Amino acid sequence: MTTVSQHRIERDKLLILAAICLSALVLPLSFTGGAVATPAIGRDLGGSPVALTWITNAFMLSFGSLLMAAGALADVYGRKRLFAFGMLLFTGASIAQSLAPSVFWLDALRAIQGVAGAAALASGSAALAQEFEGHARTRAYSMLGTTFGIGLAFGPLLAGALIEAFNWRAIFVFTALIGVIAMVFGLPRMRETRDPQASGLDWPGTVTFSTMLALFTFGIIQAPESGWGSLLVVGLLAASALLLALFVIIEMRVERPMLDLTLFRFPRFIGVQMLPIGTCYCYIVLVVMLPLRFIGVEGLSEIEAGLLLLALSAPMLVVPMLAASLTRYVSAGLLSGGGFLIAAVGLHWLSLYNVGEPKFALVVPMVLIGIGSGLPWGLMDGLSISVVPKERAGMAAGIFGTVRVAGEGIALASVAAILASLLHSDLSSAVQAVAGSADAALIAETAHRVTTGDMAHAINRVPGLANERLVQGYASAFQYLLHILTIITLVSAAVVLGLLSGKRAVTEPQEAAA
């Protein structure tokens, strides 16, 4: 092979890597951008509180529940083919979202965008393994992880700048543009690869798992408006529980299950699953809830909120890599548990801040949360495959990825529902003390609107409830929510330290992958 040909091959590989990283970049941008844009979308299109909540959750739900299924389809039908399908669908959905006439259509398109994102990420990640080998493969996956960190860190700021310069629709135009660039650079150079040993998709498991997640999330989101004891909510949660039981039965009986549940016999594997759950509740939920608070309730502009959120997300650019280096001296379990303890301190400190106080008081606690979350974030991928027998590493990584992404959607839905319920209780007491009685449904809707950042349609709706009291109630509910998140984070630290800190489990190549 001539030097010129070798140079061309290396250049094509770098362009493929750049294209797949761009496709990965639009996923956190879509996630954080939707959260920052929700207050502006509410002001422009209206919509019920439940519909506004689905702007973020529809994307996360479809993305998380179909990620493993997309990987199986890529093995069967070809990584390049599924990547092209995913990016074309993602780009088309983004353009359609920029033209959405109502929140209903926006929610539907966000769900479609999540399906496309799962197809693009699963196939793109698999394609990288075919293009690179050895240390080059490690660097390629490290670059992919760094791209995710960049998207999370700067997504809110970029979304805020686009909203201020144009409007919320510009966010989706921008993600469509990135999708087009990724396809132009990547598709002509990618090779089509398949897994000749692939057995196809576990359709019964995929359908029951996805439907279970959808019903459970819908039930949690609907609860603040309909009431936790309503027939609709109880029915949705009961149906999701039945589907979960059916899913477990299916996975224990099929020959090639989507999720090999026997891995949960390993205590250290259970401890690893607590890592994404803990980071969801101490970090991911704040990436969504804080912009809604800063913009919708405290009146900051989108770009001001984006700048402030850098204190939370910027540590993710540095700390994960630092954590991987520290595993030479300290066990990964001990580092991860210590990170949760640091994040818990930051969460408690953040709960001491009140609406209207100087914003610089938020910086230090948000930095602590970012640092604490970044320690397990940089180690959990490697840990997920180091705590099980080597021959089962692929399935372990698949289960971990599903828990990680699906857990984010469930965490977002549950935290939003808890906040709305806390505010509903506070406002009901306030109205009863002033007016003696009030429309319970109206109070529930008002509380739900405030938690979604739709303050414009929440003020002056409940007779006898001053706007100042509404903001005060929100601040009190958010403070209580932070106490709950602190407790969850401390429990995560205890489980991780108890199950993972006993011995060093990450081998050299796994450290590099982390």
What does the pLDDT look like over 387-417, one tens digit per residue?
666 555 555 666 777 787 778 888 888 998 8
Q: Is the pLDDT of residue 169 over 50?
A: yes
Tell me which of 190, 216, 239 is where a domain ends.
190
Residues making up the chain, counted from first to last: 514
Asked if residue 162 lies in contact with residue 98, where contact means CB atoms within 8 angstroms, the answer is no
For residue 452, the domain's CATH number is 1.20.1250.20
* pLDDT at 102 (0 to 100): 92
Region of poorest pLDDT, from 14-23, 99-108, 192-201, 217-226: 192-201
Domain membership flag for residue 406: yes
Domain membership flag for residue 382: yes
Average pLDDT over residues 151-168: 86
| Domain span including residue 180 | 1-190
162 and 224 co-located in one domain: no
Average pLDDT over residues 267-271: 83
403 and 461 co-located in one domain: yes
Mean pLDDT, the chain, rounded, equals: 82
* pLDDT at 488 (0 to 100): 96
Confidence of residue 196 (pLDDT cuts 50, 70, 90): low
Residue 370 token pair: 């970012």
Cite the beta strand spans of 310-418 per DSSP E: none
* pLDDT at 506 (0 to 100): 40
Confidence of residue 195 (pLDDT cuts 50, 70, 90): low
113 and 226 co-located in one domain: no
Domain membership flag for residue 103: yes
Q: Is the pLDDT of residue 460 over 70?
A: no
Domain membership flag for residue 198: no
Q: Over pLDDT 90: what percentage of the chain?
A: 24
Domain membership flag for residue 82: yes
Average pLDDT over residues 101-125: 89
Q: Is the pLDDT of residue 503 over 60?
A: no
Q: Is 299 left (phi over 0), alpha (psi -120 to 50) or beta?
A: left
Q: Is the pLDDT of residue 435 over 60?
A: no
153 and 298 co-located in one domain: no
Domain membership flag for residue 161: yes
421 and 370 co-located in one domain: yes
329 and 186 co-located in one domain: no
167 and 295 co-located in one domain: no
Asked if residue 336 lies in contact with residue 496, where contact means CB atoms within 8 angstroms, the answer is yes
Residue 149 token pair: 């960190």
Highest mean pLDDT among 17-26, 70-79, 104-113, 449-458: 104-113
pLDDT tens-place string over residues 47-87: 888 888 888 888 888 887 787 778 778 877 888 888 899 99
Domain membership flag for residue 414: yes
- More confident of the two residues 224 and 509: 224
225 and 301 co-located in one domain: no
* pLDDT at 365 (0 to 100): 96
Tell me how many domains the chain contains: 3
463 and 361 co-located in one domain: yes
Q: Is the pLDDT of residue 96 over 50?
A: yes
170 and 55 co-located in one domain: yes
The pTM score is: 0.82
Q: Which residues, 6 or more positions from 506, have their beta carbon under 8 angstroms from its beta carbon?
A: 327, 332, 379, 382, 383, 386, 514
* pLDDT at 413 (0 to 100): 85
Confidence of residue 214 (pLDDT cuts 50, 70, 90): confident
388 and 507 co-located in one domain: yes
Q: Is the pLDDT of residue 265 over 60?
A: yes
Highest mean pLDDT among 34-38, 183-187, 361-365, 430-434: 361-365
Q: Is the pLDDT of residue 138 over 70?
A: no
Q: Is the pLDDT of residue 434 over 70?
A: no
Q: Over pLDDT 70: what percentage of the chain?
A: 88
The separation between the first and the last C-alpha atoms of the chain, rounded to the nearest angstrom, is 34
Domain membership flag for residue 450: yes
Q: How far apart are CA 85 and CA 79, in angstroms?
A: 10
* pLDDT at 197 (0 to 100): 64
318 and 173 co-located in one domain: no
Kindly provide the b/e burial profile for residues 476-503, where b requires at least 16 CB atoms within 10 angstroms of the residue's own CB.
ebbbbbbebbbebbbbbbebbbebbbee
Q: Is the pLDDT of residue 237 over 90?
A: yes
Kindly provide the b/e burial profile for residues 285-324, where b requires at least 16 CB atoms within 10 angstroms of the residue's own CB.
bbbbbbbbbbbbbbebebbbbbbbbbbbbbbbbebbbebb
